[in-house]
Amino acid sequence: MRQKALYPAILATAFLMMVIVSGLATIPTLYRQMVIAHINSPAPAHTAASPARDNSAPAIDLQALSTLTLLGTSLNLILPGPRQPRAMIGPGDDSHRLFDPATPGLRGALRGVFLQWLLACASVFGLIIWLVRRFLKRHYSAPLTALIDTINEFSDNPAVAIPIPDALTSSPEFLAAAGALDSLQRNTLIALRQRERLADIGEAVAKINHDMRNVLTSATLVADTLIASEDPRVRRAAPHVVRSLEQSVILCQSMMDYLAETPIPEQDIITMPDLATETAADSGIQVNYSGPDHLYLDRTMMARILLNLARNAAAGATEVSIDIWRAGRLGVVDIADDGPEIPRGLWEDLFLAFRSRQRGGTALGLAIARDLEVAQGSNLKLTRSTEDGSEFRLQLPVEMFSDPASADELAGGSIDSASVAAADDRR
């Protein structure tokens, strides 16, 4: 909108400047005609020979005329319409003589000079505009268009590098952009090749983990029979063997979950107390729940997030508390434990895979939880970690408190769902 309003303003200003310049060009002709009229005037302006003089206008003093006055007089004579004779005082005497604008050829000469200069100014202005547009197109518009086209073409197929256009390399103003674009393409291709290699490795690891999980599961079933052995040494060692096998199975499953593609969320009504009970049974740690009985979420994703956080806490905690409440347009899920403090220096890498500082740990649980929360459009972060325990906070859209039947009410801002009413607004 600003550009559209700028062009008429530029044209109007240019036209005004051309009119002023053309008017100034007529001043010599006008002044010369005034002097000639004063010299050739046969009678003083105050005699009866000048009854038609305009007495309302002041006399023109040829000895003290300003450029602005001459410009105004010239433009006034160029416009059509009759003009009354004016009294003027010429150089050399103080007598008033007549200046008659109706002098044959005067106004025609002024209009001719004005139009010639107006045409010349328009030609010069048009030439300047053409040169400026050509300069901008060559040095800015064409390189910018080429840069945008190259980026779009490369984004459509990032596996193939696009040659840098000549319009970019030939413009000094865009040499840096050309270099940056070339570096971007090279780095992207390198990253894609690395991702392809990592994908191949991940696929191989997933297959190996799948086979290992099957073998370890079978071994776990067999190891359960060791507990019933009559040999007391075998019975004492059996729980350790079973526990190690179970941990190995969990590790293989975590690796497979991490390498698998994150699915698209499928929301449904879930019963949170039941999910909390399942989390406690699968993680082997006590889970306390406080919040709405029902939520509208992807049950599988929510179960995996809670299970991974509970297993992460089980390394040093005895219980986990899940507290769900509403804060404005957000649904908040707080998962707190009574485990040991996490050092502040470890917070930054807490959700990165294979960055665990614990012996035998892989940090895959938190990395998987982060991937799952991102898929649901939420945010998972560590909000507190002290000697009394740690707390993770999962922020989800407020629609988690509603079923599809009340989605229109949520969009309109009036939320009267029973689940929302049960949630505690702690803003």
pLDDT given at position 108: 86
Instruction: Report the alpha-carbon angle 258-264-268, nearest 5.
Output: 115
State mean pLDDT over 38-57: 53
Residues of the chain with pLDDT > 70, as a percent, come to 71
State mean pLDDT over 356-364: 52
Query: Residue 421: is its pLDDT beyond 50?
Result: no
- Residue 373 pLDDT grade (very low, low, confident, very high; cuts 50, 70, 90): confident
Please name which of 288, 376, 365 lies closest in space to residue 331, comparing C-alpha atoms.
376
- Residue 52 pLDDT grade (very low, low, confident, very high; cuts 50, 70, 90): very low
- φ, ψ at 226 (rounded to 5°): -65, -25
Query: Residue 288: is its pLDDT beyond 90?
Result: yes
Taking all residues of the chain, what is their mean pLDDT, rounded to a whole number? 77
CA distances from 42 to 21, 45, 95, 105, 395 (A): 35, 9, 11, 20, 100
- Minimum mean pLDDT range among 65-74, 96-105, 143-152, 291-300: 96-105
Global pTM value: 0.45
Q: What is the pLDDT of residues 194-237, one digit of tens each?
A: 777 766 666 666 666 666 666 667 676 666 676 666 777 776 77
Where along the chain do its domains lie?
A: 2-129, 268-422
| Burial annotation 121-133 (CB, 10 A radius, 16+ → b, else e) | beeeeeeeeeeee
State mean pLDDT over 313-322: 87
How many CB atoms are located within 10 Å of the residue 200 CB? 10
226 HSE (CA, 13 A, CB side): 16
Strand duo 319-327 + 330-337: pairing: antiparallel
CATH superfamily to which 268-422 belongs? Histidine kinase-like ATPase, C-terminal domain (3.30.565.10)
